[in-house]
Amino acid sequence: MKFTLQANDKFSKARAGEIETAHGKIQTPIFMPVGTAGTVKAVHQHELKQDIEAQIILGNTYHLYLRPGLDVLNKAGGLHKFIGWDRPILTDSGGYQVYSLTEVRKIKEEGVTFRSHVDGSKHLFTPENVMDTQRVIGADIIMAFDECTPYPCDYGYARRSLDMTHRWLKRCCDRFDTTGPLYGYDQTLFPIVQGSVYKDLREKSAEVIASFNREGNAIGGLSVGEPAEEMYAMTEVVCNILPTEKPRYLMGVGTPINLLENIALGIDMFDCVMPTRNARNGMLFTQNGTINIKNEKWKDDFSPIEPESDLMADQVYTKAYLRHLIRSQEILGAQIASLHNLHFYLWLVNQAREKIVDGTFYEWKNKMVKILGQRL
C-alpha cells in the first residue's frame, strides 16, 4: 500500500491524499460503505460502483467467519471474488462485534471466547487466528485485534485494556509478518489506537501505535456513546501524534457533521452503518439537512428527494413516493433510501476533498455544519 499526501488545508488539519492498493486507488478523505457480511444492505455491487462511486467497502471478520465461513471464502478465492467486487476492501478485526456481545463473551490474555449470535456455538478469537482469518478473507487493508472499551469506562479498566491491546498488537504483527497473502496480492495491517476518553491513555496509545511503523493507523473506541465533543478532543490528541505521512482511519464514525469535523482534525478514512441503517428507518441525509420521510408533511410532496443532485440518472423518486414505500415496508423503499444516503455521504467527502485542494475547506465546513444540523 502507498499513501501520497496531495494537499493540506491552511486553516485546519484537513488533508487530501491518495491510497494505492492492489485493487485500485482511493481518494481521501473517503467514506467506506459498510458491507458487514459481504453485502452493503439493500445495495447492488453495480450500484455501489456506478451510482454511488464507492472506491472501497468494508467487511466484518466476525460475521464473515461465522457465515459463510472460512472454507467457503477460501474456495472462492477470497471475499473479492466471492462477492464480485474488484475494488479495495477493508476488514475490521471483529473486536467491536465481540465487545458488543457483552453477555456471551469472556476476555482473557489469550484472546476472547464468545458464543455465536447465529447458533450459540462457542469460538475463540486470538490475535493470531484473527490475522489468519483476515488472510483467508483477503481484504486489502486489515485491522489488528483489539478490545473496544465501552462508554463510560473506568480509568483503571481502560488502562488495563489498553495495555492488553498493545500486547495483542505485537502478536498480530508477529503473525502477520511471518505469514503471506493467499491470493497473489499484498495486504496491509493497521494497528488501532484505544484509550477511551482519557487524554493520557490516548497519547500513550498513539505513541505505541506509531512506534510499530505500519503503513496506516486506525483510531477505535470512539462513537460508542460519548458526547461528540469528547470524540473530537480525543481525535485531535491522537492526530497530533500519529505520523502525518500515513493514512488515519477513524472507525465507526459517524454523522455527516462528525465526518466534517474529524476531517478538519486530520482524519482520512471513515466507515459507519448510519447511512444505510437510518435509511431503512426513513431517515434521509440531504445537502439542506435531515428528513424523516415518515412524517405526514411529505405525504403529498412530489418534489425530488434531493433536487440539486439527482441520485438516479434515469429516474426521479419523489418524497411522497418514498414515504409510501417506507411506511408500507416495501423493499424498494430501503433500496432507494440507502442509495440516496450513501450517495450523499460520498458526495460530502468528495466535496470536502475538492475544498481542501482549492483552499476553501474551513469556511465551507463551518457553513455546512450549520446547514446539516437542520431537521427539515
Q: How many domains is the chain partitioned into structurally? A: 1
Q: Which three cell numbers stand for residue 58?
A: 468494508
Range of 79's domain?
A: 1-271
364 occurs within a structural domain? no
Using CA of residue 68, residue 69, residue 73, residue 76, what is the dihedral sign?
A: negative
Q: Do the annotations mark residue 93 as ligand-binding?
A: yes
**333 annotated to bind ligand:** no
Q: Active-site residue numbers?
A: 92, 271
Q: Do the domain assignments include residue 254?
A: yes
Is 268 assigned to a binding site?
no
Does residue 333 form part of some domain? no
Across the strands, what pairs with 290?
285, 375
Whether 346 is covered by a domain: the verdict is no
Q: What is the CATH number of the domain that holds 215?
A: 3.20.20.105
Is 96 annotated to bind a ligand? Reply is yes
Is 194 known to sit in a ligand binding site?
Answer: yes
Residue 293: inside a domain? no
Q: Is 327 a domain residue?
A: no
pLDDT digit string (tens) for the chain, length 376 residues: 999 999 999 999 999 999 999 999 999 999 999 999 999 999 999 999 998 999 999 999 999 999 999 999 999 999 999 999 999 999 999 877 776 766 668 889 999 998 888 999 999 999 999 999 999 999 999 999 998 888 999 999 999 999 999 999 999 999 999 999 999 999 999 999 999 999 999 999 999 999 999 999 999 999 889 999 999 999 999 999 999 999 999 999 999 999 999 999 999 999 999 999 999 999 999 999 999 999 999 999 999 988 765 554 446 789 999 999 999 999 999 999 999 999 999 999 999 999 999 999 999 999 999 999 999 9
